[in-house]
């Protein structure tokens, strides 16, 4: 077989992913075109994932492909955007060679294709290069909103309820299972690892929250850190009640065995749930949005004015334990950098 070749790779593995995007021109041009419906505004996000920083190099190729799109779709979800398409840049380790590459690309492309089908998006363009370093992937994803309707981090107001979607902490829990730092029954361990490897971006919920939520972010850095970003952008502070934060069966089991773990679940990253705020009188509408999107939404706290005594000295988010005392050890979150 011939040496790996950029054009051969594109034709065999990537062009099929672009078949339904007319502006991709079969990945044969210098750039792609993206048509935008009238009165829509483009929403753009870019995320770079590096092997052994954001995923394990040995992870199944399909789950790497899924996660790559999931983290970008999660950013679009946080803005309330309808996903449209994406471009992909990929630096393949030169050391892999032609004996390893086809099998890996088969799995990777299968993961991308599954996400494309699930979220109705297509590949518009890309770049394939070689690196002496680890596998490095960069997706720029495109969505649209009615002009001016994008959800923002700024906008939370004192009195708002703080909500989260789904269950919190499985990202960091799955990572700890993989690192053998936490022991769980096999079924629960597998579930947490699956959530770490295959996060589910809350695209349908984000769309339903347009015009309802006042502020929204996805949980990539950790619940406390990302709510902190909302607070910083909105010039408010927040209080969350730890025992109201929804945990998965795996999370509940792990915390029952080691209560100190709760702090890590609330501040760990990679959940890719949404954290958002809404006025109390929209509570029924928020619950309806969750039902329409098929995902649980749970109120976990409230937004306070920055001048009140609730403003903690160590950050904009105060986490209160079941006994009413602050949990001071909750960190500002996960830093990939």
3-state secondary structure of 186: helix
Q: Which is nearer to a second copy, 54 or 287 (CB)?
A: 54
In the complex with a second copy, which residue's Cβ is closer, 49 or 192?
49
Restricted to residues 71-110, the positions that interact with a second copy (CB under 8 A) are 74-76, 78-79, 81, 87-92
DSSP letter (8 states) at residue 22: G
Place of tokens 């959530």: 195
Among 16, 97, 120, 134, binds a second copy (CB under 8 A): 134
Structure token pair of residue 221: 């850095």
Within 231-250, the residues that bind a second copy by CB under 8 A are 232-233
Nearest to 69 by CA among 143, 160, 152, 153: 143
CA distances from 261 to 12, 107, 238 (A): 46, 34, 22
Binding of residue 273 to a second copy (CB under 8 A): no
Q: How far apart are the first and last CA of the chain?
A: 40
In whole angstroms, give the CA distance from residue 326 to residue 310. 10
Coil, helix or strand at residue 58: coil
Do residues 332 and 228 lie in contact, with contact meaning Cβ atoms separated by under 8 Å? yes
- The CB-of-307 to a second copy minimum distance in angstroms stands at 22
* Paired residues of 146 in beta bridges: 40
Q: Which of 65, 125, 268, 315 binds a second copy (CB under 8 A)?
A: 125
What is the nearest approach in angstroms of a second copy to the Cβ of residue 229? 7
Question: Nearest approach, Cβ of 241 to a second copy (angstroms)?
Answer: 25
Q: Binding to a second copy (CB under 8 A): which residues in 158-217?
A: 217
User: Among residue numbers 31 through 60, which ones bind a second copy (CB under 8 A)?
Assistant: 31-36, 38, 41-50, 52-54
Closer Cβ to a second copy, 108 or 248, answer by number? 108
Contacts of a second copy in 288-327 (CB under 8 A):
none
Closer CB to a second copy, 154 or 329, in the complex: 154
- The enclosing H or E element of 333 equals none
Q: Is 138 in the site for a second copy (CB under 8 A)?
A: yes
User: Residue 257, interface with a second copy (CB under 8 A)?
Assistant: no
Q: Binders of a second copy among 3-22, rule CB under 8 A?
A: 4-6, 9
What would the DSSP string read from start to end of 59-117? S-HHHHHHHHHHHHHHHHHHTTPEEEEEEEEEEEEGGGHHHHHHHHHHHHHHHHHHHHH
Q: How far is the CB of 40 from a second copy (least distance, A)?
A: 9
**In the complex, what is the shortest distance from the CB of residue 259 to a second copy, in angstroms, rounded to a whole number?**
29
Tokens describing residue 25: 């021109």
Residues 6 or more apart whose CB falls under 8 angstroms from that of 232 comprise 153, 316
Q: Which of 132, 180, 313, 323 binds a second copy (CB under 8 A)?
A: 132
Measured from the CB atom, the residue of 196 and 334 that comes closer to a second copy is 334
Nearest approach in angstroms of CB 302 to a second copy is: 22
């Amino acid at each position: 077989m011939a040496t790996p070749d950029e054009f051969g790779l594109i034709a065999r593995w990537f062009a099929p992913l672009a078949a339904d995007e007319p502006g991709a021109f079969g990945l044969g041009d210098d750039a792609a075109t993206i048509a935008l419906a009238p009165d829509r505004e483009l929403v753009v996000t870019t995320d770079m994932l590096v092997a052994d920083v954001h995923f394990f190099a040995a992870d199944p190729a399909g789950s790497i492909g899924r996660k790559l799109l999931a983290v970008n779709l999660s950013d679009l979800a946080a803005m309330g955007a309808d996903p449209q398409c994406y471009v992909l840049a990929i630096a393949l380790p030169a050391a892999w060679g032609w004996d390893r590459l086809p099998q890996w690309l088969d799995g990777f492309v299968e993961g991308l294709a599954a996400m494309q089908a699930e979220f109705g998006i297509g590949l518009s363009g890309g770049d394939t290069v070689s690196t002496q370093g680890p596998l490095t992937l960069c997706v720029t994803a495109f969505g649209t909103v009615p002009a001016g309707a994008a959800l923002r981090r700024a906008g939370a107001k004192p009195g708002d309820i703080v909500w989260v979607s789904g269950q919190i902490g499985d990202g960091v829990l799955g990572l700890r299972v993989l690192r053998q730092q936490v022991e769980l029954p096999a079924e629960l361990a597998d579930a947490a690892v699956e959530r770490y490897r295959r996060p589910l971006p809350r695209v349908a919920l984000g769309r339903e929250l347009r015009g309802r939520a006042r502020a929204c972010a996805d949980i990539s850095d950790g619940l406390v850190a990302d709510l902190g970003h909302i607070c910083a952008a909105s010039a408010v502070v927040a209080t969350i009640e730890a025992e109201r934060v929804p945990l998965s069966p795996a999370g509940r089991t792990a915390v029952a065995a080691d209560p100190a773990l709760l702090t890590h679940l609330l501040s760990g990253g990679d959940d890719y749930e949404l954290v958002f705020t809404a006025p109390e009188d929209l509570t029924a509408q928020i619950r309806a949005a969750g039902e329409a999107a098929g995902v649980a939404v749970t109120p976990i706290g409230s937004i306070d004015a920055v001048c009140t005594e609730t403003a903690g000295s160590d950050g904009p988010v105060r986490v209160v334990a079941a006994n009413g005392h602050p949990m001071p050890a909750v960190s500002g979150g996960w830093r990939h950098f």
